[in-house]
Structure 1
Amino acid sequence: MSVHTERSVAAAAAIRHHYDAGNDFYRLWLDESLTYSCALRENPGDTLESAQERKLRFHLDAIGAERAAAVLDVGCGWGAILERLSRAGVARSVGLTLSPEQAEFVRSRAYPGVEVRTENWLHYEPGTRFDGIISIGAFEHFATPDDAPEQKIRVYRDFFTRCRDWLQPDGTLSLQTIAYANMSREQASAFMQQEIFPDADLPTLAEITAAAEGLFEVRSISNGRLDYAWTCEQWARRLRANRAEATELVGSEVVARYERYLKLSALGFRMGKIGLLRLVLQPYRSGFFTDHRVRPT
């Protein structure tokens, strides 16, 4: 078994462990769009719905979705970005997920112009280039706790290389990821590493920029850690309010595990132990067409 295949199998198992708790379970505490990533809060009166919609709009605007003909969403979740791309008239949108339940949910919506694939980016081979690539909350799952820092950077660089080669010369990558901040991997919670996100390891900002060096120009970067603390608190409040129904769906042990995970996550973001990075990147032009990973259809 190749290294890529081993990573793909391990990543798929980890994703199923977390995300296939059931769509009905997540509906109880996510917003209506089933957006399971950090919201973008600007005003004290923001609701979870309005802050999530603003986050989605941030990434759509970053890639110029209103002018795009083709967009790739790496880690598409339950399809909130794909739905908005379809609604905006984007002719072709492709979503990658490792969760069969998420993929089936998106397919059941039959959004015009949307294709969802249960496939790892390591194995994806697009037939044409994209005007934009969005990846929200997937980057955290690319490396494993067993990877040395130089191995992590190689994995991230592989991702950035593929994204560069999949993009049009004037395309844009909009990336959102949790990252280690004032905390090392060794200081991370064993509960989070083993019971919530097994076989996943967060990047650091330094690892991301080292991996992107020479491939992408960082056009903008921001840290939304307080946004994510607030988002986790909103999710936890909704889960508590629906605890009885959630327990009927997944059992008391799973509900208690998620409540603990959301509480610890909010605390970690508020203390600055972890951060939430939003990066907008554009490929450097020189040597752009030297790779042949994009295959004609």
Structure 2
Amino acid sequence: MDAATAIRHHYDVGNSFYRLWLDSSLTYSCAIPDGADDALDAAQDRKLQFHLDAIAAASATRVLDIGCGWGAMLKRLSDSGVERAVGLTLSDEQAAYVRSRDYRGVDVRIENWLDYEPDAHFDGIVSIGAFEHFAKPDDSVVEKVRVYRDFFDRCRGWLHEDGMMSLQTIAYANMSRDSANQFVQQDIFPNADLPTFAEIATAAEGIFEIQAVHNGRLDYAWTCEEWARRLRRHRTDAVDLVGADVVARYEHYLKLSALGFRMGKICLLRIVLRPYSDRHFR
């Protein structure tokens, strides 16, 4: 199964299904809640703002979103006055949704980062929830690092010298890849393997300076639990849309994920990176 097929297996279940249990912006990644009783919409907005601040989006002209999902970040960039925001996705459903919104200055492309060739440099790059899909379960650690290093090298080439990158990814924590849950690997995210922080740091060495690292594993436990509550609340409608088996699969996946984050088996990394250049050492 290639990367595009694997992505569509999960994300092209149907926009209407995801709309039942995600927030109003259809943000399908870890939020930043302000307390256990926070509202999901507010928590997701806080997460988007974190990444916007990390790349200094307020003064940016061109921004690239790698793994743009249903376009929540692209909308924020458009609303903030960024002249051009480019989003990459491998999901037909997501791309169609973003295009239907007709956001000013937004260009969404069904394209793998491996094939992307921009026509100009960017002031900032954001990638939220895509990095988890770059490596395959049968890749060796050396092969994984090679893939990640290729990604960082390309991103460095796409950025202006003073540009910034903000990366968010799930990663292995107190668990080896051999202990990963087979249900999640085979039925939810096939053909994907999580990174470790060590692999990310090794791959970025000499290309990007890691300026900040935040571990939001409890944030993601909260997010998965909130998604699960919302899915249970709309279970009848969800079954009508995609069938009982699919709903049961997602309920099981959200429960396992929340437990994994709570136990520290997996974590959520938010990493702010600055490209190395001679100027930064003067």
Verify same fold: TM over 0.5: yes
Aligned to 1:217, what secondary structure does the other structure show?
Answer: strand
> Is 1:226 the counterpart of 2:245 in the alignment?
no
RMSD, aligned CA: 1.1
- Per the alignment, residue 95 of structure 2 pairs with 103
CA distance in structure 2 between the aligned counterparts of 1:45 and 1:237, rounded to whole angstroms: 13
Alignment length (residue pairs): 280
The equivalences for 1:175-214 within 5 A come to 175-214=167-206
Q: Residue type matched to 2:119 in 1? A: G
Do the aligned partners of residues 233 and 44 (structure 1) sit closer, same or farther apart at CA in structure 2, a change above 3 Å counting?
Answer: closer
Superposed displacement of residue 78, structure 1: 0.1
Q: Which runs of 5+ in 2 are unaligned?
A: none
Aligned to 2:108, what secondary structure does the other structure show?
Answer: strand
CA distance in structure 2 between the aligned counterparts of 1:210 and 1:41, rounded to whole angstroms: 30
The equivalences for 1:137-216 within 5 A come to 137-216=129-208
Superposed displacement of residue 286, structure 1: 4.1
CA distance in structure 2 between the aligned counterparts of 1:269 and 1:194, rounded to whole angstroms: 19
1:212-251 C-alpha deviation (Å, 9 max, x unpaired): 0000001100100000000000000000010000000000
CA contact (8 A) 2:134 2:193 kept: yes
Moved over 4 A (4+): none
CA distance in structure 2 between the aligned counterparts of 1:110 and 1:50, rounded to whole angstroms: 24
CA contact (8 A) 2:171 2:194 kept: yes
Q: Residue type matched to 1:106 in 2? A: V
1:183-238 C-alpha deviation (Å, 9 max, x unpaired): 01100011001000000000000000000000000110010000000000000000
CA distance in structure 2 between the aligned counterparts of 1:234 and 1:259, rounded to whole angstroms: 11
CA distance in structure 2 between the aligned counterparts of 1:225 and 1:41, rounded to whole angstroms: 12
CA contact (8 A) 2:171 2:269 kept: yes
CA distance in structure 1 between the aligned counterparts of 2:261 and 2:91, rounded to whole angstroms: 26
CA distance in structure 2 between the aligned counterparts of 1:68 and 1:150, rounded to whole angstroms: 35
Structure 1, 41-50 or 68-77: larger mean CA deviation: 41-50
Superposed displacement of residue 287, structure 1: 11
CA distance in structure 2 between the aligned counterparts of 1:43 and 1:232, rounded to whole angstroms: 15
CA distance in structure 2 between the aligned counterparts of 1:172 and 1:100, rounded to whole angstroms: 28
Superposed displacement of residue 120, structure 1: 0.1
Identical columns (%): 69
Superposed displacement of residue 43, structure 1: 2.7
- Per the alignment, residue 263 of structure 1 pairs with 255
CA distance in structure 1 between the aligned counterparts of 2:192 and 2:266, rounded to whole angstroms: 15
Q: Residue type matched to 2:57 in 1? A: A
CA distance in structure 1 between the aligned counterparts of 2:8 and 2:145, rounded to whole angstroms: 25
Superposed displacement of residue 268, structure 1: 0.2
CA distance in structure 2 between the aligned counterparts of 1:276 and 1:229, rounded to whole angstroms: 10
- Per the alignment, residue 244 of structure 1 pairs with 236
CA distance in structure 2 between the aligned counterparts of 1:245 and 1:261, rounded to whole angstroms: 19
CA distance in structure 2 between the aligned counterparts of 1:251 and 1:221, rounded to whole angstroms: 40
Superposed displacement of residue 41, structure 1: 1.6
Do the aligned partners of residues 199 and 111 (structure 1) sit closer, same or farther apart at CA in structure 2, a change above 3 Å counting?
Answer: same
CA distance in structure 1 between the aligned counterparts of 2:107 and 2:137, rounded to whole angstroms: 32
The equivalences for 1:84-123 within 5 A come to 84-123=76-115
Aligned to 1:159, what secondary structure does the other structure show?
Answer: helix
Aligned to 2:104, what secondary structure does the other structure show?
Answer: coil
- The equivalent position to 2:61 in structure 1, one of 69, 72, 89, is 69
- Per the alignment, residue 295 of structure 1 pairs with none
Do the aligned partners of residues 150 and 202 (structure 1) sit closer, same or farther apart at CA in structure 2, a change above 3 Å counting?
Answer: same
1:145-202 C-alpha deviation (Å, 9 max, x unpaired): 0100000000000000000000000000000000000001100011001000000000
CA contact (8 A) 2:36 2:222 kept: no
CA distance in structure 1 between the aligned counterparts of 2:156 and 2:89, rounded to whole angstroms: 20
Aligned to 1:28, what secondary structure does the other structure show?
Answer: helix
CA distance in structure 1 between the aligned counterparts of 2:73 and 2:57, rounded to whole angstroms: 10
CA distance in structure 1 between the aligned counterparts of 2:155 and 2:262, rounded to whole angstroms: 32
- The equivalent position to 1:254 in structure 2, one of 232, 246, 252, is 246
Aligned to 2:239, what secondary structure does the other structure show?
Answer: helix
Do the aligned partners of residues 154 and 287 (structure 1) sit closer, same or farther apart at CA in structure 2, a change above 3 Å counting?
Answer: farther
CA distance in structure 2 between the aligned counterparts of 1:83 and 1:287, rounded to whole angstroms: 33
Q: Residue type matched to 1:146 in 2? A: D
